[in-house]
A and B are shown apart, each in its own frame.
Chain A
Amino acid sequence: MSATIEFVIDGKEIQGQPGQTILEAAQQAGVYIPRLCYMKGLVPHGSCRVCTVLVNGRPQSACTQPVAPGMVVENNTEKVTALRRNIVEMLFVEGNHFCMFCEKSGNCELQALAYRLGIAAPKYPYLFPTRDIDMSHPDVFIDRNRCILCGRCVRASRDVDGKHVFDFVGRGPHKRVAVNAEVRLADTNLDVRDKAAEACPVGAIMKKRVGYAVPIGQRLYDHKPIGSEIENGKK
Chain B
Amino acid sequence: MSDNLATVVRDICRKYGRERGRLMDIVRAVQEKFGCVSGPAMDLIAKEVGVRRVQVASVVTFYAFLSEQPKGQVVIRLCNDIIDQMAGAPDVARAFEEELGISFGQTTPDGKFSLEYAACIGMCDQAPAALVNDVPVTELSTDAARRIVRDLRKHMDPSRLVHRLGDGNNAHELVHAMVMNNIHLRGPVIFTPANRGEAIRKALAMTPAEVIRAVKTSRLRGRGGAGFPTGMKWEFTRAAPGDRKYIVCNADEGEPGTFKDRVLLTELPDRVFAGMTIAGYAVGAAEGILYLRAEYAYLQRFLEDLLDKRRAENLLGQNICGKAGFNFDIRIQMGAGAYVCGEETALLSSAEGSRGDPKNRPPFPAQKGYLDCPTVVNNVETLACVTKILEAGPATFSEHGSPGSTGTKLLSISGDCKVPGVFEVPFGIKLSEVLKLAGGEDAIAVQVGGASGQMIAREEFGRTICFDDLATGGSVMIFGPERNVLEVADKFMEFFVEESCGYCTPCRVGNVLLKERLERVIAGQGEPADLEYLQDLGQTIKTMSRCGLGQTSANPVLTTLKNFRATYNALVKKRTDGLQPAFDLGAAVGEAETIIGRKSEHAHA
A residues in contact (CB < 8 Å) with B: 44, 46-50, 52, 59, 61, 64-66, 83, 86-87, 90-91, 93-94, 123-125, 127, 148-149, 164-175, 178-182
Contact B57 A172 (CB under 8 A): no
Contact A49 B545 (CB under 8 A): yes
Query: A119 vs B272: C-alpha distance in the bound complex, in angstroms?
Result: 53
Name the residue among B52, B53, B57 with the largest chain A CB count within 10 angstroms: B52
B residues in contact (CB < 8 Å) with A: 39, 52-55, 57-58, 61-62, 338, 340, 355, 360, 362, 497-506, 508-510, 512-513, 516, 533, 536-537, 540, 543-546
Residues of A within 8 A of B503 (CB): 47, 175
- For A94, give the chain B residue with the smallest CB separation: B509
Contact B61 A149 (CB under 8 A): no
Residues of A within 8 A of B52 (CB): 164, 167, 180
Residues of A within 8 A of B500 (CB): 171-173
- For A164, give the chain B residue with the smallest CB separation: B52
Contact A125 B513 (CB under 8 A): yes
Residues of B within 8 A of A180 (CB): 52-54
Contact A149 B508 (CB under 8 A): yes
- For B340, give the chain A residue with the smallest CB separation: A171
When A86-B536, A171-B500, A172-B497 are in contact, do A164 and B506 touch as well, CB less than 8 Å? Answer: no
Query: A48 vs B54: C-alpha distance in the bound complex, in angstroms?
Result: 22
Contact A46 B540 (CB under 8 A): no
Contact A167 B513 (CB under 8 A): no
Query: A91 vs B544: C-alpha distance in the bound complex, in angstroms?
Result: 14
Which listed residue, A65, A167, A172, A182, touches B499 by the CB 8 Å rule?
A172
Query: A180 vs B51: C-alpha distance in the bound complex, in angstroms?
Result: 10
Which listed residue, B362, B498, B544, touches A172 by the CB 8 Å rule?
B498
Distance to closest chain A CB from B348 (angstroms): 16
Distance to closest chain B CB from A164 (angstroms): 4
Contact A123 B533 (CB under 8 A): yes
Which listed residue, B502, B506, B543, touches A173 by the CB 8 Å rule?
B502
Residues of B within 8 A of A61 (CB): 360, 546
Query: A86 vs B497: C-alpha distance in the bound complex, in angstroms?
Result: 18
Residues of A within 8 A of B509 (CB): 90-91, 93-94, 127, 173
Which listed residue, B39, B340, B537, touches A182 by the CB 8 Å rule?
B39
Query: A182 vs B58: C-alpha distance in the bound complex, in angstroms?
Result: 13
Contact B502 A174 (CB under 8 A): yes
Query: A171 vs B510: C-alpha distance in the bound complex, in angstroms?
Result: 15
When A64-B360, A180-B52 are in contact, do A173 and B537 touch as well, CB less than 8 Å? Answer: no
Query: A83 vs B506: C-alpha distance in the bound complex, in angstroms?
Result: 10
When A49-B545, A86-B537, A182-B39 are in contact, do A164 and B505 touch as well, CB less than 8 Å? Answer: no
Contact A49 B53 (CB under 8 A): no
Residues of A within 8 A of B513 (CB): 90, 93, 124-125
Name the residue among A59, A90, A164, A178 with the largest chain B CB count within 10 angstroms: A90
Contact A172 B505 (CB under 8 A): no
Residues of A within 8 A of B338 (CB): 171
> Which 4 A-B residue pairings sit nearest by Cβ, starting from the closest?
A175-B502, A180-B54, A90-B509, A169-B61
Query: A44 vs B55: C-alpha distance in the bound complex, in angstroms?
Result: 19
Contact A171 B546 (CB under 8 A): no
Residues of B within 8 A of A127 (CB): 509, 512
Contact B504 A46 (CB under 8 A): yes
Query: A91 vs B509: C-alpha distance in the bound complex, in angstroms?
Result: 8
Contact A86 B540 (CB under 8 A): yes
Which listed residue, A47, A93, A123, A166, touches B504 by the CB 8 Å rule?
A47
Query: A123 vs B360: C-alpha distance in the bound complex, in angstroms?
Result: 30
Contact A59 B543 (CB under 8 A): yes
Residues of A within 8 A of B533 (CB): 123
When A86-B537, A167-B52 are in contact, do A175 and B508 touch as well, CB less than 8 Å? Answer: yes
Contact B54 A44 (CB under 8 A): no
Given contacts A49-B544, A149-B502, A167-B52, 9 further A-B contacts (CB under 8 A): A46-B360, A46-B546, A86-B537, A87-B506, A125-B513, A170-B62, A171-B61, A172-B498, A178-B58
Q: List 26 A-B contacts (CB under 8 A).
A: A44-B360, A48-B504, A49-B504, A49-B544, A52-B543, A86-B506, A87-B540, A94-B505, A94-B508, A125-B513, A149-B508, A164-B52, A167-B52, A167-B57, A168-B58, A168-B355, A169-B54, A170-B62, A172-B497, A173-B509, A178-B57, A179-B54, A180-B53, A180-B54, A181-B53, A181-B54
Residues of B within 8 A of A181 (CB): 53-54
Distance to closest chain A CB from B492 (angstroms): 15
Residues of B within 8 A of A171 (CB): 61-62, 338, 340, 355, 500-502
Distance to closest chain A CB from B378 (angstroms): 24
Contact B543 A83 (CB under 8 A): yes
Which listed residue, A49, A93, A164, touches B546 by the CB 8 Å rule?
A49
Distance to closest chain A CB from B57 (angstroms): 5
When A86-B536, A90-B506, A172-B498 are in contact, do A164 and B360 touch as well, CB less than 8 Å? Answer: no
Contact A164 B499 (CB under 8 A): no
Query: A179 vs B39: C-alpha distance in the bound complex, in angstroms?
Result: 13
